[in-house]
Structure 1
Amino acid sequence: MPPLALYIHWPFCLAKCPYCDFNSHVRAKTDMAAWEAALLTDMAHEAALLPGRELTSIFFGGGTPSLMPPALVARLIEAAGRHWRLADSIEITLEANPSSVEAANFAALAGAGINRVSLGLQALDDQTLHFLGRLHDAAEGLAALDVAQRHFARVTFDLIYARPGHTPETWAAELERALALGTGHMSLYQLTIEPGTRFATLVREGKFTPLDDDAAADLFALTRERMTAAGLPAYEISNHARPGEESRHNLTYWRYGDYAGIGPGAHGRRLETATVRHRKPENYLRAVAEQGHGLVEQRALGRAEQASEALLMGLRLDEGVDVAALARRFGLPGTALIDPAKRAFHARGGLVHEDGTRLIVTEAGMPLLDALLAELVPADLVA
């Protein structure tokens, strides 16, 4: 039986960041007992459908999971261990805000079973952090990182670049500071203006102008060059790691493995089925109480749709995708997965190359990935 990953969504934040379109909510009070009962019930529902599997990773995402009581985190990990076999090398990640209050819980979270933490630093200077709507300042963030590195075997952090007015010089300096912090993994994201966010409103009102595409592309190239030189090459379009430090949980997504998702708004892919939970916390709690799970949608995936998703995820990776293996997996001809004429055209242009049956997007192709995927994956397969 193939291994399994588990995603647990904690939807609450102290404030909504202006760039964020994740399923996060601000609430004055949270009934922890009710949430513990609901998450345990929701997990049990997924476990009943996925018996006998080995769990290779657990990921607490959000929202702000570092706001969870460590005792609740421990009970959820213990429950996962009762439902499934935990791999000896299981990766258990928790996303955390780098505030002093949350850093004070790091020792207890490590004791609960967390062995990898992902810190939302986002920037290393106060002016940028203020622009991004973050509640911590740079000093507090660096102090939290120091605490995390003392308590967790593996630490990663996020930075956002391609901000308004961002220059290669300032980003190169920030990258050098970030690399000096000594983590084995970093997630480096270009600022994107997502619909429905506060930033989208500000841009529409002319309050600020996003960095133009050419300047952002220059910063993307600079990022990959500096990170590769420092020994943390990109293994996915926005994620950089020393060999062996890659996120095993996220690789399950990108390699199109099975994962169960519980908690408000959580998505899952298991047994050729796409699952979605209720997004609003109150609706999620009500659904679990009434039906024993938080599902709002459960949809069987056809072979062509699965193949399309596997391609769209896998081509984000520096390892690319084994087209022949995917064709066998989904019972489709290889020519149905990748348009041969478009593949040859983009190979001549240096945007993709082939390594045996594996198709890989090149360094030149990665900045154009979205447009390239639209060209390579046949429209009838996506439909």
Structure 2
Amino acid sequence: MLQVTPHPGFGIPGFAVYVHWPFCKSKCPYCDFNSHVRERIDQERWRAALLRELDHYADATAGRTVTSIFFGGGTPSLMEPATAAALVERVAERWSVAPGLEITLEANPTSVEAERFQAFRSAGVNRVSLGIQALNDTDLRFLGRQHDAAEAMGAVELAAKTFDRFSFDLIYARPGQTVAAWEAELKRALDYAVGHLSVYQLTIEEGTAFFPLHARGELVLPDEDLAGDLYEATQTLLNAAGLPAYEISNHARPGEESRHNLTYWRYGDYVGIGPGAHGRLTLEGEKFATRAHRAPEIWLDRVARNGHGAHAPEPVDTDARASELLMMGLRLRDGVALDRLAAESGRDLDALVDPNALKRLTDGGFLERTPTHLRATEAGRQRLNAVLGMLLG
């Protein structure tokens, strides 16, 4: 256990709790998250283990105020609602909680899970994020999803009736996708998206079922030019609909942004609970990275023995803190506050990055520097990996 006392940090934007439920009904071929398929799950044992690890981190961070809870996965809508209720209750017992505490549950839109929405609402969940991914049945089958488009839209309608806030995800740049087809799909999504929509470009990650198919040329994604056109069409349509991008892949009406994810992008502190969960904690003026063992059964055994399933916390030095803050914060439309960057690293921007690269990027219209912030422009956010590579060397 971390035997340290909490430090309030320098303007840290919230303090979040992430709970990882590692199980899915099936593994999607594009997914590289820490998710697993099991025939049977001992729900009571998992509830007890998650609560015990939560207590471990609560002991280390006493006095903090939790601003959001996020149940991610995997497919956390497969957990018993009683588990979510117990964790929400324990958070409120061990920390103070902010007014308007955001509690989000990731869910799949299958009928069986959608029927559980009311039970999760009673457990304290007030926001749901649905993994829709596509609005046509052919592409849903290609993506390995177990729902069809009609079922997905039914789940969205039910979420709107059940929860205060909801969002859903779509994936674009799918094989054979045209700009016209994507625009039509987005317009249909906008009939349902009230406050928030997440839109991700399909990428091929090592360790996924898609990876060897792509390597053999059996799965061909849109080329860079077409992917750029799809991205630009997304920005145009969603801006016009009043859902501008507040982060590279996330669009929201003002005030509907994901408060939990903003904690990550603003480089706030967060506790990570469950197999493979990561965390960042500022303690006694230092930043620590925490990481739990990925394998569910090993994690369970470690919690039973040690009270947690985490590896030893690793200090994050000031150079890494500055790099992490820039990598996360430049994803946001608002960018990075320069005083926050100096507080995390002890140095100003010009001492942290290559000044020649910074000038080239600002002159080229990819970054914008003001007296208070460094921001990536829309062109810069579209090419952020390349921008960061130049900026951070």
Normalised to the residue count of structure 1, the TM-score between the two structures is 0.97
Q: Does 1:286 align with 2:301?
A: yes
Tell me which amino acid in the other structure corresponds to 1:217.
G
Q: Does 1:339 align with 2:354?
A: yes
Cα distance in 2 between the residues matched to 1:333 and 1:22: 35
Q: Secondary structure at the match of 2:147?
A: coil
1:63 to 74, 97, 119: 74
2:320 to 302, 305, 309: 305
Deviates more, 1:3-12 or 1:319-328: 319-328
Deviates more, 1:288-297 or 1:58-67: 288-297
Q: Does 1:80 align with 2:91?
A: yes
Deviates more, 1:246-255 or 1:210-219: 210-219
Tell me which amino acid in the other structure corresponds to 1:21.
D
| 1:354 to partner: Cα distance | 1.8
Tell me which amino acid in the other structure corresponds to 1:119.
L
Cα distance in 1 between the residues matched to 2:163 and 2:133: 20
Q: Secondary structure at the match of 2:132?
A: strand
Q: Does 1:155 align with 2:195?
A: no
Counterpart of 2:35 in structure 1 is 24
Q: Secondary structure at the match of 1:274?
A: strand
Cα distance in 2 between the residues matched to 1:241 and 1:256: 20
Contact preservation (8 Å) 2:167, 2:193 = no
Counterpart of 2:4 in structure 1 is none
Tell me which amino acid in the other structure corresponds to 1:129.
L
Tell me which amino acid in the other structure corresponds to 1:34.
R
Q: Secondary structure at the match of 1:141?
A: helix
Counterpart of 1:315 in structure 2 is 330
Counterpart of 2:373 in structure 1 is 358
Deviates more, 1:176-185 or 1:336-345: 336-345
Tell me which amino acid in the other structure corresponds to 1:114.
V
User: Please, what is the CA RMSD of the aligned residues?
Assistant: 1.0
Cα distance in 2 between the residues matched to 1:151 and 1:297: 40
Cα distance in 2 between the residues matched to 1:62 and 1:308: 26
Contact preservation (8 Å) 1:186, 1:239 = yes
Q: Secondary structure at the match of 1:48?
A: helix
Q: Secondary structure at the match of 2:118?
A: helix
Contact preservation (8 Å) 1:93, 1:116 = yes
Write the mapping of 1:120-131 to structure 2, written as runs, cut at 5 A: 120-131=131-142
| 1:183 to partner: Cα distance | 2.1
Cα distance in 2 between the residues matched to 1:249 and 1:184: 15
Structure 1 pair 7–168 and aligned structure 2 pair: CA distance change class (3 A): same
Contact preservation (8 Å) 1:324, 1:334 = no
1:113 to 124, 131, 134: 124
Structure 1 gap segments, 5+ residues each: none
Cα distance in 2 between the residues matched to 1:157 and 1:303: 36
1:262 to 273, 291, 295: 273
| 1:298 to partner: Cα distance | 1.5
Q: Secondary structure at the match of 1:364?
A: helix
| 1:126 to partner: Cα distance | 0.4
Counterpart of 2:15 in structure 1 is 4
Structure 2 gap segments, 5+ residues each: 1-7
Cα distance in 2 between the residues matched to 1:17 and 1:108: 26
Cα distance in 1 between the residues matched to 2:349 and 2:173: 37
| 1:156 to partner: Cα distance | 0.2
Q: Does 1:41 align with 2:56?
A: no
Tell me which amino acid in the other structure corresponds to 1:344.
K
Q: Does 1:136 align with 2:147?
A: yes
Contact preservation (8 Å) 1:4, 1:258 = yes
Counterpart of 2:262 in structure 1 is 251
Cα distance in 1 between the residues matched to 2:374 and 2:368: 6
Normalised to the residue count of structure 2, the TM-score between the two structures is 0.94
2:103 to 92, 109, 121: 92
Contact preservation (8 Å) 1:52, 1:85 = yes
2:198 to 166, 187, 208: 187
Contact preservation (8 Å) 2:174, 2:202 = yes
Counterpart of 1:368 in structure 2 is 383
Cα distance in 1 between the residues matched to 2:313 and 2:343: 25
Deviates more, 1:359-368 or 1:255-264: 359-368
Deviates more, 1:87-96 or 1:207-216: 207-216
Cα distance in 2 between the residues matched to 1:328 and 1:264: 32
Cα distance in 2 between the residues matched to 1:48 and 1:336: 37
Tell me which amino acid in the other structure corresponds to 2:388.
L
| 1:113 to partner: Cα distance | 0.3
Moved over 6 A (4+): none
| 1:283 to partner: Cα distance | 0.5
Cα distance in 2 between the residues matched to 1:256 and 1:198: 32
Tell me which amino acid in the other structure corresponds to 2:164.
A
